[in-house]
Amino acid sequence: MPLLTKEDLRRHSRLGWASLFALAAAALALWLTGRHGAALGTGGGLLGCLALVLPPRERMPILPWRLRALPRRLDAAPVLGTLVSCPGYGLGWFYLPGPYDEIVHLVNGMLAGAVFAALLQADRRRRGVLQLAVAGAACGLAVGAGWEVFEALTGLIGDWTDTWTDVLLTTLGATFAAALARAFDGRRKPPPHPAAAMPRARWHQP
156 residue type, one letter: L
Gap between the Cα atoms of 172 and 107, Å rounded:
10
Query: Does the pLDDT value for residue 198 go beyond 80?
Result: no
Q: What is the DSSP letter of 190?
A: P
Q: What angle do helix axes 36-53 and 14-32 make, rounded to 10 degrees?
A: 160
In the predicted model, is pLDDT for residue 188 greater than 60?
Answer: no
Domain boundaries, the chain: 1-79, 97-186
pLDDT at 123 over 90: no
Is the confidence at residue 193, as pLDDT, over 70? no
Check residue 96 and give its pLDDT: 86
pLDDT above 90 covers a percentage of the chain that reads: 64
pLDDT tier, 40 (very low <50, low <70, confident <90, very high otherwise)? very high
Residue 23, pLDDT > 60, answer yes
Contact 166, 144 (CB under 8 A): yes
More confident site: 145 or 158: 145
